[in-house]
Amino acid sequence: MKVLLAGGAGYIGSHTAVQLLRAGHEVVIVDDFSNSSPEAIRRVEELGGKKVVSYEADVKDKEKVRQIFRENDIDCVIHFAGLKAVGESVRLPLKYYRNNIDTTLTLLECMEEAGCTRFVFSSSATVYGEENDPPYVETMKRGSCSNPYGWTKVMMEEILEDAAKANPKLTVILLRYFNPIGAHESGRIGEDPQGIPNNLMPYIAQVAVGRRDHLTVFGGDYPTPDGTCLRDYIHVMDLADGHVKAVEYAENHRGVEIFNLGTGTPYSVLDIIKAFESATGVKVKYEIGPRRAGDLPKFWADSAKAQKVLGWKTKRSLEDMCRDTWKWQKNNPMGYGK
């Protein structure tokens, strides 16, 4: 299939692009590089062994997106092009609502004009909100979120469900990611956050490489075995494989399907620090600090549905996640160096 990756130069999009190419699909990328670098696309081509058609454009720009559909016979769209910094979304909510929702509407409208009927969406475990107890199952009701970023995901899921209800030809796959970490095993592509990392693994990697002095562990007094939060960390390459399965499933199915993409195994913040140290042999200096507003004590996935329906199963261990993160960080201490 020919797959359009909106936001395909980013962290998850670039790894997905490699796995799609290796599975024999064609890839078209549109990205405005607001949180990524064109160098990622060059490396995707190197790892995927094939050329990628790419456009530098804002996915809110309808004329430009129309042109992309005119110039390419797109079979399926994967929408990664979102803003994702939770703290920034609290400070700049309108920016988040405008970007995340407008990109979704623009893609849906242009798909309708072009007769493209398959849409795979980057959603998040955050849509389960505070009301649900782990493990999260796809049949649970969406909950309430503590920040505008989370609400954009809830709203976009609802928009996509309504669009599919109104158009029986449309296939919508909502992929709810848990905590993606790691990098391609080559160390050529990986996560390249701008400024101070918000998420745990990139922060650990930057402490290990000497870019930051120490990690602050957000809270040591949660009701968990070691007092730090529990999360379901998933290797980004397993996540990428989940997208390949979702695209192939969308080829022959109609309607809306939701899939959790997680391993089903929770680890604490201290588990991650220890695993990183033992996989890499590098010490990670840390101190326990106050809780971060909005953090939930624990959540992880029930991933049975993706296993059963998509035939997808995670293959990579926590050790792989740590080793591959470190290979990327060590070989590219300043990321893509944009």
Binding-site ranges for ligand NAD (CB under 6 A):
7, 9-13, 31-36, 58-60, 80-84, 99, 103, 122, 124, 177, 180
216 near ligand UD1 (CB under 6 A): yes
128 catalytic? Reply is no
The number of angstroms, rounded, from the C-alpha of 50 to the middle of its chain's C-alpha atoms is 23
84 near ligand UD1 (CB under 6 A): yes
218 near ligand UD1 (CB under 6 A): yes
How is residue 271 written in tokens?
């588990």
From the DSSP assignment, how many helices (H) and strands (E) are in the chain?
11, 13
Q: Which long-range contacts (CB under 8 A, 24 or more apart) does 308-314 make?
A: 309/249, 309/257, 309/259, 310/242, 310/245, 310/246, 310/249, 310/259, 311/245, 312/241, 312/242, 312/245, 312/261, 314/234, 314/235, 314/238, 314/263
- Residue located via tokens 């620090």: 273
Name the H helices within 167-265: 200-208, 236-251
Stretch that binds ligand UD1, among 109-117, 215-223, 244-252, 302-310 (CB under 6 A): 215-223
Footprint on residues 42-71 left by ligand UD1 (CB under 6 A): none
Cα–Cα distance, 195 to 180 (Å, whole number): 19
Instruction: Give the residue at shortest CB distance from ligand UD1.
Output: 229
**C-beta closer to ligand UD1: residue 41 or 207:** 207
Footprint on residues 156-185 left by ligand UD1 (CB under 6 A): 179
**C-beta closer to ligand NAD: residue 10 or 182:** 10
Residues that bind ligand UD1 (CB under 6 A): 84, 86, 124, 126, 149-150, 179, 198-200, 203, 215-218, 229, 231, 269, 292, 294-295
Catalytic residues: 149
